[in-house]
Structure 1
Amino acid sequence: MTPTKILYVDDEAMALKYFERLVSPLAPVLTAGSVEEGRAVLLAHGADVAVLVCDQRMPGERGNELLRHAREYYPGIVRMLTTAYSELGDAIEAINTGEIYRYINKPWELESLRADLKNALELAVLRSERDSLMRDRLLAQQSRLLANRLAALLMVGSAVYADGHEQALHRYAEAARVVGGAEPMVDWNRWDHADLLQAEAQRGAAIAAHLRDALQALGPRGEVGDALSALARSIGGEVSGDGVLVANATVFTALLVSPAGETPTAPQCAWLAWLLWQGGHARVTPAQGGWMVRPAAPDALREDWLADAMERLGKNPV
């Protein structure tokens, strides 16, 4: 939702009333009588505020303190300082430090004030549209990264334990979707395409090595009870009835959501290794106190099961 409101902060009650009367035909106005009250209004209504106008000279904290706070916590808000000519130095300092879009001299000239605020509102709309496009772009990049990681796990699984690897990856993706609640952690300002591809390739090699070691330690497939005990030891769960209760959901998603450039660990690979060992004959369901892993018959996989899993994970990131 695009923000539309103007917040004006001034310790003079008459100034607040005068501003609201002058500006309300242009946009809805919120007011506050101090920097502290301004922070409270931003906390409650920050998503609705397009423009913040703040007087500089007030008892206690000065206006530029609130503008600095808004820059840090509400960067999309267009910030403006209003001050008397004698305090012009404060306005210049605020501009130079990036705290404000512009300053407005007191006393106000009505048409100039409205023109400045109209420009600020238009800038706020542009920022909101830009931020929305950036969010969509990041979501698309994260969805692609999820899909790439799932595809890479299928290739790694096939290489290290071909028997039942597709069923194992199907159940891995299913568990990640059931658990949900996170997305791949990537600093997109740091990674360019080539560097990220290299990091992901190295990540796949490390996962393969951990899987081989884990599968060697697990040995031949055994009875269901032994398999559940091995799973509990591997991922920190507890055997409970006909399954394993796991409190920490990250064991089911770590290989999909851990930060780019982070070297995978053996514990992060333990759940996938166990699924490969068991040919994917298990299913994760919500349970009191965490998540329950129980033995389950294999599903009949369609030819496009991987594409379907990628699409489902993209719509509901793990």
Structure 2
Amino acid sequence: MKPEKILYVDDEAIALKYFERLVGPLAPVLTANSVDEGRAVLSVHGADIAVLVCDQRMPGERGNELLRHARTHYPHIVRMLTTAYSEIGEAIDAINTGEIYRYIAKPWELESLRSDLKNALELSALRSERDELVRDKMLAQQARLVSGRLSSLLVIGAGADPAAYERALFRFAQAALWVGAQEPAVDWHRWDHADLQQAEARRGAGVALQVRSWLERFGARQDDAHALAQLAAVLGAEVRDGVLHLARTEPCTALLTAPAGGPASAHDCAWLAWQLWTQGRFGLHSAGEGWMVAPAKDEPLPKDWLADAMERLGSLA
């Protein structure tokens, strides 16, 4: 729901009542009589507040302190300062430092006040629409990032074991879907498209090197017990009754969910390398409140499993 309320902060009770009566027809009004009370109102109703109007001269902290607080913690709120003509210099300073959108001079002129607040509400609505578009874009890009990583892992797998890489990647994707892989964190203020693609490409090259190193470390494949023992040693897990019991599933999803741009650690690559080493012969299954790794049925891979996995993992992001 879009924010639509106006918060007015002033230590004068008459000013609070007058403001609420004048502005109430434009939007719901919340009031507070101090900077501390204003912070308390923001902590409860911050997501619903579109515009914050604050008097400058109040006992204790001044209004611009609350506006600065709102700028840091509630950047979506359009901030305005109301002040007497004699304090215009402070208002101008607040504008220049980015604390407020504009100031409203006291004493108020009714039509000017309503016009300024109407403009502020319209600006808030535009910001909300912009933020929604940005969020949609971010979610779409995060979905593409997960899909791109899975594609990259398929290529890495083909280079490591041309005979069985697809089954291994199927088991890898299946495990990530079952445990509910979360979206990778992306600092969109830091990354533009080209830089992120470059970072992810370098990350993929690092994964390929780590996978090769793990395959060499695992050595020659023997029986199922030996394979499970190798994985247990890497993940710090326990093998009981011919299956490996996992308390944590992060190792199964880290290659898809790690923050964007950073390198993949050797530990992050162990699960994929092990699936390639065992040629996808083991699957992840739920076991009560935990998970277990056990031999999987040797069945044909579902048609279009990769496209399905990309779509479903993208929807999780």
Q: TM-score, normalised by structure 1?
A: 0.93
- Matched residue, 1:85: 85
1:59 positional shift: 1.5
- Matched residue, 2:150: 150
1:168 positional shift: 1.5
Name the aligned partner's letter for residue 127 of structure 1: R
1:299 positional shift: 4.8
**Cα displacement string for residues 21-41 of structure 1 (whole angstroms, at most 9, x for unaligned residues):** 111111011111211111121
Is the partner of 2:92 in helix, strand or coil?
helix
**Cα displacement string for residues 7-28 of structure 1 (whole angstroms, at most 9, x for unaligned residues):** 1111222221221111111101
**Cα displacement string for residues 45-69 of structure 1 (whole angstroms, at most 9, x for unaligned residues):** 1111110111111122111111111
Name the aligned partner's letter for residue 273 of structure 1: A
Name the aligned partner's letter for residue 73 of structure 1: H
Distance 1:12 1:216, change over 3 A: same
Q: Are 1:316 and 2:316 counterparts?
A: yes
Q: Are 1:159 and 2:159 counterparts?
A: yes
Contact 1:286 1:292 in 2 (8 A): yes
Contact 2:56 2:64 in 1 (8 A): yes
Is the partner of 1:253 in helix, strand or coil?
helix
How do 1:124-273 residues align onto structure 2 when only pairs under 5 Å count?
A: 124-180=124-180, 182-273=182-273
Is the partner of 1:191 in helix, strand or coil?
coil
- Matched residue, 1:37: 37
* Separation of aligned partners in 1, 2:148 and 2:183: 13
* Separation of aligned partners in 1, 2:74 and 2:242: 50
Name the aligned partner's letter for residue 60 of structure 2: G
- Matched residue, 1:280: 280
* Separation of aligned partners in 1, 2:249 and 2:86: 60
Name the aligned partner's letter for residue 40 of structure 2: A
Distance 1:156 1:181, change over 3 A: closer
Contact 2:237 2:247 in 1 (8 A): yes
Number of residue-to-residue matches in the alignment: 317
Name the aligned partner's letter for residue 121 of structure 1: L
Is the partner of 2:221 in helix, strand or coil?
coil
* Separation of aligned partners in 1, 2:249 and 2:194: 31
Contact 1:52 1:78 in 2 (8 A): yes
Q: Are 1:21 and 2:24 counterparts?
A: no
CA-based RMSD of the aligned residues comes to: 1.9
* Segment drifting more, 228-237 vs 91-100: 228-237
Which sections of structure 1, spanning at least 5 residues, go unmatched? none
Sequence identity of aligned pairs in percent? 64
Is the partner of 1:171 in helix, strand or coil?
helix
Contact 1:280 1:298 in 2 (8 A): no
* Separation of aligned partners in 1, 2:207 and 2:293: 22
**Cα displacement string for residues 216-255 of structure 1 (whole angstroms, at most 9, x for unaligned residues):** 2212333222222211111232334443333333212221
**Cα displacement string for residues 114-153 of structure 1 (whole angstroms, at most 9, x for unaligned residues):** 1111100000000000000011111111111111110010
1:110 positional shift: 1.3
- Matched residue, 1:306: 306
Is the partner of 1:225 in helix, strand or coil?
helix
Is the partner of 2:61 in helix, strand or coil?
coil
Contact 1:167 1:299 in 2 (8 A): no
Contact 2:182 2:316 in 1 (8 A): no
Contact 2:6 2:27 in 1 (8 A): yes
Q: TM-score, normalised by structure 2?
A: 0.93
- Matched residue, 2:103: 103
